[in-house]
Chains A and B, each alone.
Chain A
Amino acid sequence: MTSLRDQIKLHEGLVYDRHAYGKGPGWDPELIVEKAAPLSAIEREGYDLLSDVELEIFYHKMLTIVEEAREVWQNLSISDIILAGDMSTAVFTPSGDLAVASTGIHFHALLNYAQSKFILKYYRDDPTVGLRDGDIFFFNNPLAGSTHAPDMFTAMPVFHEGELVAWAEVGGHQGDCGSVSPGGFNPYATSRFEEGFHMAGVKIGENFRIRKDMLDYLCGSVRNPFVFAVELRSRVATCLRMRDRILREVERRGPAAVSGGLRRLIDRSSELASDRLRQINDGVYRSILFNDTIGAEKGLVRIPVTVIKEGGEMTILVQGVSPPNGKGPVHATWHLVRASQAVYLFAYFFRGLMPNVGLFEPLTFLIEGPSVANSPEDVAHTEGTIISAAVVQSFHIIGSKMLFDSPFRENVSAPFSRNMVALVFYGSNLFGYRATGITSTGNGAGQGARFDGDGEHSTGFYWASMTDAGEVEEFDARYPFTIIARGLLGTDYHGFGMYRGGSALIEVSMAYPNPVVMTSWGTSDVISHNPGLFGGYWGPPNPRLTITKNDALKLMAEGALPELTHHSLAAERQLGGDYAFESSSVNPKEFEIGDVFLCDTGSGGGYGDVLERDPEAVMTDVREGMISADVASRVYRVVYNEETLRVDHAATEALRNEERQARIARGKRFDDFIGGWLAQKPKEHLLTYYGDWPDPRVPGYDKPFWGEHD
């Protein structure tokens, strides 16, 4: 019998199961694509030492170690992004495989292994580097396994009486990395050499201390040296705390039991993942998203995802992707796309299972390269997360379609909102030191609607649900701007459906008390990455809005500042001033004291047919300002008294039946529709970076459905 996987045809001349770039100084992509390493001697010795019950207790002990470490780091750090939770702490096997991860950004933990494996293979026995107790390593090079240069990773080996028993590692978004643009993001970068320093598994400390010369080098390379120094020290302190805790377990259980136990946790996760997969229907599933920018320029970019589920295994195929363009930073790497899927897999698809690399063992990733998803070496990478996130969004949609007819329907939903417009600031803060970074508004993403209810508002960070958008007062002190309003009200600014998407946190900030330099980058100015599910409409796009030469400070002094919401600014212009609606990818610009910025991450997509939404829920949305009267009647087809919001249920049902009949009247049979549809094509200037239309890799593709290759 032909397997489903055998039906997939990979294009010749492209790579799928590995990176589109080769080995270089400090990186070896072959190491990154490997699955969990074979059992080492100490892992084999200790593999069966713990009973099943003891293994469970051991897991919970290790989990408390990484969760405590997360608390330690957040308490020591003064980096706002770390304070907001954009980080992870984790314990790895002696071979460098992820065994136990804290809540936070799981994909960071799935990237940190790259430096451990490289060190073990290339530096451990190198007389100029070596690997000893007390060593501290650091990396941020995307080619070596990082996300992008602003994400920085620190690792310490854990030795017991000269034997390597584990690794303690932390990863998180630090921000400024000395790139051309403040804050690390450079939407106009055309090569990686414009994106700051790139370190790949560098030993920055020995004997449990950071080397002074390395600290000076790093701090001298960034715009916020004070923050950076405190931040790096807090990372090392966190690793040290994990090391101490792990060694206590070693003293209690013995080194082999700890190393073997860590490895067995990975195998246990792998077994449980396969078991879960076997309970889900076999088939081929697809979803597709498009991006509207390459960074400096607008342009359509294609990111399709196909998932082949068969038995206890699953293949994730990213094929037919737009080629690399070399004109902007929206390029992901093979390992970033793979690791990013943990965002969906750990929190939804494999929810309840131990989040470690074992959950990836039954999965095969085929990511076409060279492409924007599996990019070559010298392109710019800082915004590669746009591509990897688009794959996650599609995987979330696919996963929900797989899980509906399974015992895991409770995990069915539209994805988190991910229409990023990240404002990146640089300037002096109230404490007088230079600060730079992105706002944490993204941590207030709206949840997609669920199979049994509306999406929650401002739920968490797209990349990590257990995050915080930060305290306003903290931001006012630490950042070179002031938050003047935060709220949820974005009228008509979410995905409609039987269940509606949740609203993002909407933040209005101001350059104050000093001028600030601000740039921004984003994903969705005219399209969206917030899909709906099963007929639910999508969360809409969100471009950038700045309001200069405004009267906000004057109104504040008079106590007359109006309520600032998305709607009151974008639609009603309740502040006087010059409104600039523009692309979210904008070069750094200096803003004057009092200039105002609107920022959010978009809102979640809807679930199901709008005509099936409870009319009373529609009225609640009207009452709360979530939707306008226009949407209530035009989209939801609810008949009601606009003064009392009392629903006329009979008239509503009649109007909805009328609309259902209108759909049948205007809808075309497939064969009558498809010819006219396929004859259309986007304007040529939108396709500059797309590749061949409509399939970038198959000239003249003319089938009614994509992905059907002979």
Chain B
Amino acid sequence: MRVRITEYLDIDLEREFWCCNRCGGDLISAREPYKRGCLLHERDPREIHKPISDHPVFNYSFDPDWVRIIEFYCPHCGVMVENEYLPPGHPLTNDIQPDIDALKRKHAGGGAS
């Protein structure tokens, strides 16, 4: 049984696996951060948010000295599952750590937690 957890992430409860909602491809064990099962790409934020003014710093875009974008892609279909805006080198965010056992109980008919 697959449960849709986010816009782009499902969990296969029997196999306890994160899967891509768009292509169905496997990412990684649902007891691991799903980001470990993605492809990662670091971006200079100005590639997406082009400076609007000509000021070198205060230009309505992100300063890459302060922040970079990390994009997380499904390795099978290339959909962007999530992104993070972090200072360069900052550890990533394990943003969703579901209680898999509670989730399985819920969908086994035990109701919500």
CB A284 to nearest CB in B, in angstroms, measures 4
Partner of A608 from B7, B53, B86 at Cβ < 8 Å: B7
**Contact indicator B89/A677 (Cβ below 8 Å):** yes
Are A694 and B63 in touch, CB under 8 angstroms? Answer: no
Chain B residues in 8 Å Cβ range of A536: 83
| A311–B60 touching, CB < 8 Å | no
CA distance A258 to B95 in the complex (A): 44
A-B contact sample (15 more), CB < 8 A, given A571-B53, A663-B39: A282-B103, A492-B49, A526-B63, A531-B85, A544-B58, A567-B52, A609-B8, A662-B78, A663-B73, A664-B78, A670-B36, A678-B89, A678-B91, A705-B33, A706-B94
A646-682: CB near B (< 8 Å → 1, else 0) gives 0000000000000111111011111001100111111
Could you say which residues of chain A place their CB within 8 Å of the CB of B35? 670
Chain B residue numbers with a CB within 8 Å of A686 are: 65-66, 87
Q: Is A153 an interface residue (CB 8 A)?
A: no
Q: Indicate whether A493 reaches chain B with its CB closer than 8 angstroms.
A: yes
The distance in angstroms between the C-alpha atoms of A570 and B61, with both chains bound, is: 12
Question: Complex formed: what's the CA distance from A635 to B102 in Å?
Answer: 39
Known: A290-B67, A405-B5, A527-B66. A532 touches B83 (CB 8 A): yes
Option from A282, A498, A535, A582 in Cβ contact (under 8 Å) with B98:
A282
**Assuming A540-B49, A609-B8, A706-B93, is B99 touching A667 (CB within 8 A)?**
no
Please give me the 6 A-B residue pairs with the lowest Cβ-Cβ distance, nearest first: A667-B39, A660-B78, A680-B89, A543-B58, A526-B63, A581-B55
Assess whether B19 is interfacial by the CB under 8 Å rule. no
Q: How far is the CB of A417 from chain B (nearest CB, A)?
A: 13
Interchain CA distance A533-B96 in the complex, whole Å: 13
Q: A701 near B: Cβ within 8 Å?
A: yes
A581 touching B58, Cβ below 8 Å: yes
A-B contact pairs, 8 of them (CB 8 A): A281-B98, A534-B82, A540-B62, A543-B59, A567-B52, A664-B73, A670-B36, A678-B91
Given the known interface contacts A663-B71, A705-B91, the answer about A283 and B97 at a Cβ–Cβ threshold of 8 Å is: yes
- B residues apposed to A, CB below 8 Å: 3-8, 33, 35-42, 48-50, 52-53, 55, 57-63, 65-67, 69-73, 75, 77-83, 85-99, 102-103, 106, 112-113
- Judge if A496 is at the interface, Cβ distance under 8 Å: yes
Contact residues in A for B89 (Cβ distance below 8 Å): 677-682, 694
B113 touches A278 (CB 8 A): yes
Decide if B92 touches A706 in the complex (CB within 8 Å): yes
- Among B81, B93, B97, the residue within 8 A (CB) of A535 is B81
Least CB distance, A370 to chain B, in whole angstroms: 22
In the bound complex, CA of A242 to CA of B90 (Å): 51
Q: How far is the CB of B29 from chain A (nearest CB, A)?
A: 13
Is A667 in contact with B75, judged by CB distance below 8 angstroms?
Answer: yes
In the docked arrangement, what's the CA distance between A537 and B58, Å? 19
Q: Which of A181-202 contact B (CB under 8 A)?
A: none
On whether the beta carbons of B58 and A705 are closer than 8 Å, the reply is no
Selected from B41, B69, B80, B94, the residue in CB contact (under 8 A) with A609 is B80
Query: In the complex, which residue of chain B has the Cβ closest to the Cβ of A532?
Result: B83
Q: Is the CB of B38 within 8 A of A667?
A: yes
> CA of A680 to CA of B60 in the docked complex: distance in angstroms?
24
Give Cα A269 to B61, complex, Å.
42
Q: Are A661 and B78 interface neighbours, CB within 8 A?
A: yes
What total of chain A residues lie within 8 Å of the partner, measured CB to CB? 93
Complex: chain A residue closest to B76, CB-CB:
A664
The answer to whether B62 and A492 have CB atoms under 8 Å apart is no
Q: Tell me if A611 is interfacial: C-beta within 8 Å of chain B.
A: yes
Q: Are B66 and A300 in contact (CB under 8 A)?
A: yes
Q: Which residues of A contact B99 (CB under 8 A)?
A: 4, 281-283, 310
Contact present for A668 and B40 (CB under 8 Å)? yes
- A671-710 vs B: 1/0 string, CB under 8 Å? 0011001111111001000000011000001011111100
The reply to whether B112 and A667 form a contact with Cβ atoms under 8 Å apart is no
Q: List the A side residues contacting B59 at CB < 8 Å.
A: 543, 581
A289 to chain B: closest residue by CB:
B85
Closest CB in chain A relative to B73 CB, distance in Å:
5
Q: Which residue of B lies closest to A397 (CB)?
A: B95
The residues of B that contact A538 with a CB separation of less than 8 Å are 49, 85
Q: Point out the residue from A279, A283, A535, A706 that lies within 8 Å of B8, measured CB to CB.
A: A535
A570 to B48, CA, bound (A): 18
A535 touches B83 (CB 8 A): yes
Cβ–Cβ < 8 Å partners of B88 in chain A: 677, 680-682
Residue of B nearest to A707 (CB): B94
Q: Give the residue of B6, B52, B65, B98 whose beta carbon is less than 8 angstroms from that of A571.
A: B52
Instruction: Out of A278, A667, A695, name the residue touching B41 (CB < 8 Å).
Output: A667
- Please indicate the chain A residues that have their CB under 8 angstroms from the CB of B41 in the complex: 663, 666-668
Residues of A within 8 A of B97 (CB): 283-286
Given contacts A496-B48, A542-B60, contact A682 B66 (CB under 8 A): yes
Instruction: Determine the distance from Cα of A660 to Cα of B78 in the docked complex, in whole angstroms.
Output: 5
Chain A nearest CB, measured from B70 CB (Å): 7
How far is the CB of A106 from the nearest CB of chain B, in Å? Answer: 26
Closest residue of A by beta carbon distance from B99: A282
With a CB–CB cut-off of 8 A, which chain A residues contact B4? Answer: 404-405
Q: Are B93 and A288 in contact (CB under 8 A)?
A: yes
Given A281-B99, A310-B113, A608-B7, A635–B48 Cβ distance below 8 Å? yes
CA distance A300 to B85 in the complex (A): 14
A287 interfacial by beta-carbon distance below 8 Å:
yes
